[in-house]
Chains A and B, each alone.
Chain A
Amino acid sequence: MNLLTVEKLSKSFRGLKAVSNASFTIPEGSINALIGPNGAGKTTIFNMVAGVFPPDSGSIVYQGKPIHGLRPDQVCAAGIGRTFQIVKPFAGLSVLDNVVVGALLRSKDVSAAKSYAAEIMERLGLGAKRDMPASSLTLPDRKRLEVARALATRPQLLLLDEMMAGLRPTECDQMVEVFRGLNRSDGLTILLIEHVMRAVMALAQHIGVLHHGEVIARGTPAEIVRDPAVLECYLGEETEV
């Protein structure tokens, strides 16, 4: 069954077509990646799914209900969590309190939210840093915090925006393990937008390739790396990394 169905999505900014007629589906329980060169429209699609702005045309259907045009908080309440490419921790709060804010969406009781938040932090390896101010975390930990906060809202679908950017290869591999674990043990569906091919190839079961706002290829990693159109526009030079 498809958890998310994106159909004929288009968006222009002052005449510039950022996304045109993009369609793809995300099966429940799968890990999916959207890749493409800079300016291909990845982040625009991401933002439309997350409710940051509405599409000009087309539809986004989540669990059978249209969600295009909903606000970000409504999208989150519907069950879609997201992280930010440029991490946005609540710098003045402790690491635990950052996650508690997310947990309060489903458990209105603060102490219940706290214990759920602590549980998630343990899973992401942030347990020892719970009382530190979020502003004191290193970049990999801040990225983890983004994930922990989003997971605390108990999403069925997690959107990851350039999660691996700025991470060293070993840190990137650790992150990959975290997402694999979440997908395997919790059945979490994941959509990642990513530049780092190492992570995409290791994680994704389905890949969509965007170029100039259009989906030019869809398939498994093995199919994508052999697709001539993809090789031409993008992958050829990137896979050597």
Chain B
Amino acid sequence: MRAHAALAVLAVVLLALPWFAGSYALSVATLILYFAYTGQAWNVMMGFAGQLSLGHAVYVGVGGYAAGALFFHYGVGPWAGLWLAILLCVALGLVIGFLAFRFGISGVYFALLTIAFAEFTRIGFDHLDWLGGPGGMFLKVAQRDSIDLLNFRGPPAMYYYAILALTAGAFALCFLLLKSRAGYYWQAIRENEEAAQALGINTFRWKMLAVAISSAMTAVSGVFFAFYYNNLFPEQIFHISRSIEIILGPIIGGVGTLFGPILGAVVLTVLSDGITEGLAALGWEIPGIKQVFYGIVLLAVIMFLPNGIWPALARRLGLHK
């Protein structure tokens, strides 16, 4: 009951945020939700099905470029581009999944394969002049005070609501998935694949399903990224640091939990921006010091809460995961 009340209050605050938050707070909130959503997508593969992807940036990049290119070259809005993005990312995910699962590549080797795909996609995009090559692709920025839903152009609040809806939708989807047959099968595969197979589970098929859903969800965050930031560079969007950024939230928050990716995104984004602000206020301008603080906090969380923040918090609040 108390949990429901807390969720209701949170929902009201989130919905009303653009009315009282300044533009900086709104952009931080948008960033938090972006990482919460993308982390949730990654969590389907790793947290639920136990397949460690360290190259999820590839889906953000391919999704972003797909919708971005349709808009840039042909003026086709993201509502159509979204489907192309999902189609391409799912196809790519299934190729990676097929190669790995058919030939028994698992664990760290699977993770290496996902890095390899992200890396050579990055190098490939560097040489695709049609998409701007290393110089990047820039989407036309229309005036930001009117809302053009068809082309997904508008003020920051519009993007905030869009990513809020996506995050809520992803949460609901994952909630349902986890309670479904797929959720049980994924967790069985995650815990012990051999035992799962002995119970009649076609592990190949169910792992492929996890990859398909995760890559489709991540494709959407790529489209959001493209239209929110309006610029795409292969060196940035496909970079391994982006992949790491995506997975830090769920790891800090709690892998395999529903609230973990959201909580992790809040903690990491607030921490990152907080450190920047704090150092600026102190007048410290030592290069790299932000990363040092960030690293220390990550280290502390991993040492003291190896399962992430949410499981410990849920225990304290007397909730189930």
Contact = CB atoms under 8 A, between A and B. Distances in A.
Interface of A: 50, 71-73, 76-77, 82, 84, 88-93, 97, 100-102, 104-105, 108, 110, 113, 149-150, 152-153
Contact of A73 (B180, B181, B190, B200): B200
B308 to A, nearest CB: 13
A158 B232 CA distance: 57
B197 A92 contact: no
A110 B192 CA distance: 20
Contacts of B192: 88-91
Contact of B191 (A71, A72, A91): A91
B185 interface: yes
Given A76-B200, A92-B187, A110 B180 contact: yes
A73 B201 contact: yes
A159 to B, nearest CB: 9
B187 A150 contact: no
Given A77-B200, A149-B199, A150-B199, A104 B181 contact: yes
Interface string B153-190: 00000000000000000000000000111001101101
| Listed residue (A72, A77, A113) with the most chain B CB atoms within 10 angstroms of its CB | A72
Given A97-B184, A101-B184, A110-B180, A73 B203 contact: yes
Nearest 7 pairs of A and B residues by beta carbon? A90-B191, A76-B200, A88-B195, A105-B200, A101-B188, A72-B197, A102-B199
Nearest to B205: A73
A58 B289 CA distance: 68
B255 to A, nearest CB: 11
B194 A88 contact: yes
B191 A93 contact: yes
A102 B185 CA distance: 9
22 contacts: A72-B194, A73-B198, A76-B198, A77-B200, A82-B198, A84-B195, A88-B195, A90-B188, A90-B191, A90-B192, A90-B196, A91-B191, A91-B192, A92-B256, A93-B187, A93-B188, A101-B199, A104-B181, A110-B184, A113-B181, A149-B195, A150-B199
Contact of A101 (B179, B185, B256): B185
Nearest to B196: A101
Contacts of B201: 73, 101, 105
Given A50-B198, A153-B199, 14 more contacts: A72-B198, A82-B198, A88-B192, A90-B192, A90-B195, A91-B192, A92-B191, A93-B191, A97-B184, A101-B187, A101-B188, A102-B200, A105-B201, A152-B199
Contact of A108 (B181, B188, B191): B181
A93 B190 CA distance: 10
B106 interface: no
Contacts of A72: 194, 197-198
Contacts of A92: 187, 190-191, 256
Contact of A105 (B191, B195, B199): B199
Contacts of B236: none
A128 B195 CA distance: 23
A71 B205 CA distance: 13
Contacts of A97: 184, 187
A73 B184 contact: no
A153 B198 CA distance: 10
Listed residue (B184, B194, B202) with the most chain A CB atoms within 10 angstroms of its CB:
B184
B203 to A, nearest CB: 7
Contacts of B195: 84, 88-90, 149
Contact of B187 (A76, A84, A89, A90): A90
A104 B187 contact: no
Contacts of B256: 92
A72 B196 CA distance: 9
Contacts of A152: 199
Given A89-B192, A91-B191, A76 B199 contact: yes
Interface in B189-230: 190-192, 194-203
